[in-house]
Structure 1
Amino acid sequence: MARPRKDVKFQHRANNGKGRRPSAVSDSASEPGSPVSNGQGQKSEGEAPPQSEYEKKKQTFITRMIWTFVMIAIFFVSMFAGHLYIIMVVTAVQVISFKEVIAISNVPSRARSLRFTKTLNWYFLGTTMYFLYGESVIYYFKHVILVDRVLLPFATHHRFISFMLYVFGFVFFVGSLQKGHYKFQFTQFAWTHMALYLIVVQAHFIMNNIFEGMIWFFLPVSLVITNDIWAYIVGITFGRTQLIKISPKKTVEGFVGAWIFTIIFGVMLTNIMMRFSYFICPVNDLGANIFTGLECTPNPVFTHHQYTLPFVPPTWSHVPHSMDIAPIQFHILVFATFASLIAPFGGFFASGLKRTFKIKDFGDSIPGHGGMTDRMDCQFIMGFFAYMYYHSFIAVYKVSVGGVIEQAITGLTPDEQIELVQRLSKHLVNQGVISSKVLDYLTVQLNRR
């Protein structure tokens, strides 16, 4: 057996592997012109140096500001162009937000093997929007829909049609279940329905606010934006006490300070908007815009009333004993309070959701801002509240032409409808609104049927 040689050092061991035989990868790395040969991994001459942290923040800030002004311009141009255009904006926000939330739970590898996963998500979105939008159009424009021969069957059976569309999707989902993917498919099914409720359904009520009058849309949106701005300004200036753990940057001082400034802003904005019929009138013409305006009998909340101030002694002549104010100014205190104290929890909910899935933003739909959902997280619950509050405490319910037509078409037989037309015509003749010849002609035509 050969004796081991002492004091003999192999080159590749003594130099810690520096002298070992290079591999094909290391050969290519050490070729002239490679990063290794040009200074151990330094950038080549053609590449730009990496941006500093300051430059990145500066670029992000510029991008954020540019897109902020773009969004403001789109918002105001759409609002002044007419109710139809602002509804289109709300619809776009609705669809983009749904897409972003659905994408969170999606697993691309499984989605590729399950061909109809995304198709079902969008099918349920389309079915839900058909039902909700149809309900709104029939409710607010029944005087047009119910007298159209083509649209009448769809309006009369709208809810049944919507239900059957959903049932088809449900049956298709059950039929598409595959072994080994049950958990993923049912997770997608539940996640889709959660997104439909939290985004699509609440956005539907925001659209209804537009139909009731532009002020019921613009006011809640503005209050949330104003509260967010003042919460940041007051918080960064005076903030000391953390408000909630899920959002460490939120402070009690900013929370309370923003509430005060939001109330002040709300009172001022309402005082301006209530002077224009375009903002306070319900929609009766989708072609109206800020220049053509709308005409209506204003809701009593926009009419000034004289209120006696309590606890003011009659002997105090130098102190006013009453004030002239519109009731909407009292309601705006409730709106501003909800926008300041409750609506931010929609943002906290979204923050918790993002932390759960370890993501920074819901998407990148808006450069510099993240996703659409990041900007709308508080708006959905605020719009829902505005709809509920309006119909509970502000709306004035009265008989409308559309309501009478709906009752006549859906609740009366053809013979009863003819009798209604004849009696209504006779009433108009007695009132001198139409000529008796019109009644005679109408009677002859009806008797010929």
Structure 2
Amino acid sequence: MAKPRRNIKFNHRNGHSSSIDGRRSSFSDISEGASEPGSPVNAGNGAAALPETGPSEYEKKKQTFITRSIWTFVMIGAFFGAMFMGHLYIIAIVTAVQIISFKEVIAIANVPSRARRLKFTKALNWYWLSTTMYFLYGESVIYYFKHIVLVDKVLLPFATHHRFISFMLYVIGFVFFVASLQAGHYRFQFTQFAWTHMALYLIVVQAHFIMNNVFEGMIWFFLPVSLVICNDIFAYLCGITFGRTQLIKLSPKKTVEGFVGAWVLTVIFGIGMTNVLMRYSYFICPVNNLGANLWTGLECTPNPVFSPRTYQLPIWFPFAKSFSMAPMQIHILIFATFASLIAPFGGFFASGLKRTFKIKDFGDSIPGHGGMTDRMDCQFIMGFFAYMYYHSFIAVYKVSLGGVIETAITGLTAEEQMELVKGISKHLYNQGVIPDTVLDCMNIAVHRR
């Protein structure tokens, strides 16, 4: 019998050669490999094809950058469009930001409620929001438009008893919450109660003061918002250019160099932007007509803070004896400093909150940017500061038409109000504003009373 020949390799009929050790690959191995998903076999030569791969990391980053850029321009366009169209549109945007941000923050803690199947948890959250907004918006409407609200027969009872109505609405929600407590879920429900009230204070209340800034003049809204946005951009540019020292562990990418560099550039930007905005009455005048826009404009006596003043320099100063500058240029240094050194801590707070719940973003309201809260975390505290600073150091308090009407309605009897009307009518007649026929009609009405 012939001896088998050693060390001789044969090509198999299926086109596969033997392995290095001389053993033949089994058909079952090939068939199993071909049957596995993601491991296709070339029909021509039986060799395994390369596995299909998804988009590369570069493609993903490119797509994210494009989406983020598009929505950035969309938001900028919507913001400037609303600002030029009028104060009412800006108020609508602020209201939308309030609601969306509140929804995003509440959603973080509301995830367990679906598993526990507790009734009324979500409904109570929205009830608290509605009650809070009713109180805050009512306060603003009564304060800024009392000359309209207090003379309306339907709105007068709501205006005079607004705070009591708001308190009773809150009490109703409080009683309903206590009645809905269930054994075994007390800790969770009280945590939800505290979480909701924290969101109301940090988001809804602070955003409400941003809306009040709009009523005081568009500049008090636009400047704080633009300062925060530009500071964020400057911090990023300075950080990637010469940032070396980490600023805070909550945000590892924030650097001391970027923080300080953004402060300097934000101050420069604030001074230049203020010089531009002070020239237009549309920005510096308080709202006296909600139908006004950039083209119709507003008319008012400018706040003295926008009028240039002459400041004397010390005698020993070599170059000049005095200089002229609007006080607003000094105030803007404070605004820019707060936007650069304090407002970012609103973002750090939000970062810590996200780390606590192990989430990347608060939501996906804005494609490429995450949630609304991710973009507004610094704006809330900045807007609150702008309101407090304005009313503490800049606002000029004087008698207003709404204040006089409020005093007459709430502090005088009906007979005294008629005498007031008679006296004002006589004064207007003496000034030639109204004819004698109107005066006679007023006198007849008073006598009939």
- TM-score when scaled to structure 2? 0.88
Secondary structure, aligned partner of 1:105 = helix
Find out whether 1:76 has 2:86 as its counterpart. no
Aligned residue in 2 for 1:388: 388
Q: Which residue of 1 is the match for residue 37 of structure 2?
A: 35
Measure the CA separation in 2 of the matches of 1:196 and 1:414: 41
Q: Which amino acid aligns with 1:207?
A: M
The one of 117, 122, 137 aligned to 1:118: 122
Q: Which residue does 1:58 correspond to in 2? A: 62
Describe how 1:321-400 pairs up with structure 2 within 5 A.
Answer: 321-400=321-400
Structure 2 residue 265 is matched with structure 1 residue 261:
yes
Q: Does 1:223 align with 2:227?
A: yes
For residues 301 and 52 of structure 2, the distance between their equivalents in structure 1, rounded to whole angstroms, comes to: 65
Cα distance in structure 2, aligned partners of 1:133 and 1:48? 57
Distance 1:337 1:31 in 2: 65
Q: Deviations over 1:344-377 (max 9, x none)?
A: 1111111111111111111111111111101000
Once the 2 structures are TM-superposed, how far is the Cα of residue 428 of structure 1 from its aligned partner?
2.3
Question: Quick one: structure 1 residues 171 and 30, their matched pair in 2 at CA, closer, same or farther if it must change by over 3 Å?
Answer: farther
Is 1:293 the counterpart of 2:272 in the alignment?
Answer: no
Deviation at 1:109, TM superposition (A): 5.2
Q: Structure 2 residue aligned with 1:247, among 248, 251, 257?
A: 251
8 Å CA contact retained: 2:38, 2:52: no
Q: Aligned equivalents of 1:32 and 1:264: distance in 2?
A: 67
Check the 8 A contact 2:128/2:173 in 1, yes or no.
Answer: yes
Shift of 1:413: 1.4
Measured against aligned partners, the alpha-carbon deviations of 1:130-165 in whole angstroms (never above 9, x if no partner) come to 100010011101111111111111111111111111
- Larger deviation: 123-132 or 421-430? 421-430
Q: Give distance in 2, aligned partners of 1:33 and 1:108.
A: 42
Question: In the alignment, is residue 270 of structure 1 matched against residue 297 of structure 2?
Answer: no
What is the CA distance between 1:112 and its match in structure 2?
Answer: 6.2
Residue of structure 1 in register with 2:311 after alignment: 307
- Which residue in the other structure is 1:14 paired with? none
Kindly tell me: are residues 424 and 111 of structure 1, through their superposed partners in 2, closer, same or farther at Cα, counting changes over 3 Å?
A: farther
Q: What is the distance in 2 between the residues matched to 1:249 and 1:414?
A: 67
Structure 1 residues 92 and 30: CA distance shift in structure 2, 3 A: farther
Aligned to 1:445: 445
* Aligned-residue RMSD, C-alpha: 2.2
Residue of structure 2 in register with 1:5 after alignment: none
Whole-Å separation in 1 of the counterparts to 2:253 and 2:321: 45
Contact residue 113 and residue 121 of structure 2 kept, 8 A: no
Counting matched residue pairs gives 415
1:152 is matched with which residue? 156
Name the structure 1 match of 2:131.
127
Match of 1:188 in 2: 192
Contact 2:307–2:326 under 8 Å retained in 1: yes
Q: Is the 8 A contact 1:30 1:36 kept in 2?
A: no
In structure 2, the residue matched to 1:6 is none
Structure 2 residue 140 is matched with structure 1 residue 136? yes
Query: For 1:390 and 1:130, how far apart are their aligned partners in 2?
Result: 24
Which shifted more, 178-187 or 428-437? Answer: 428-437
Identity %: 77
Q: Deviations over 1:259-278 (max 9, x none)?
A: 11000000000000010000
Partner of 2:22: none
Deviation at 1:430, TM superposition (A): 3.1
Offset at 1:306? Answer: 1.4
Letter in 2 for 1:146: L
**1:415 maps to what in 2?**
415
Superposition deviation, residue 446 in structure 1: 2.2
**Residue in 1 that maps onto 2:91:** 87
Task: Give, as a single letter, the amino acid of the residue that structure 2 aligns with 1:100.
Answer: E
2:223 touches 2:270 (CA, 8 Å); kept in 1? yes
Question: In 1, are the aligned partners of 2:343 and 2:379 still within 8 Å (CA)?
Answer: yes
Cα contact 1:302–1:327 (8 A) shared by 2 = yes
Query: What residue number does 2:183 align with?
Result: 179
Question: What residue identity is the alignment partner of 2:422?
Answer: Q
Q: After alignment, is 293-302 or 173-182 more displaced? A: 173-182
* 1:160 aligned counterpart, secondary structure: helix
Structure 2 counterpart SS, 1:107: helix
CA offsets 1:33-66 (integer angstroms, 9 cap, x no match): 6516636xxxx99x97311111111111111101
Shift of 1:429: 2.7
Aligned partner (choices 283, 292, 311) of residue 287 of structure 2: 283
Q: Secondary structure at the match of 1:324?
A: strand
Preserved CA contact (<8 Å) 1:343 1:378: yes
Give the direction of change, closer, same or farther, for the CA distance of 1:48–1:125 in structure 2 (3 Å limit).
farther
Which deviations, in whole Å up to 9, do the C-alpha atoms of 1:288-319 show, x marking residues without a partner? 00000000000001111111223544xx4xx2
CA distance in 2, matches of 1:311, 1:399: 41
Q: How far, CA to CA, are the matches of 2:221 and 2:228 in structure 1?
A: 12
Counterpart-to-counterpart distance in 1, 2:38 and 2:376: 49
Kindly tell me: are residues 434 and 379 of structure 1, through their superposed partners in 2, closer, same or farther at Cα, counting changes over 3 Å? same
TM-score by length of 1: 0.88
| SS of structure 2 residue aligned to 1:248 | strand
* 8 Å CA contact retained: 2:315, 2:321: no
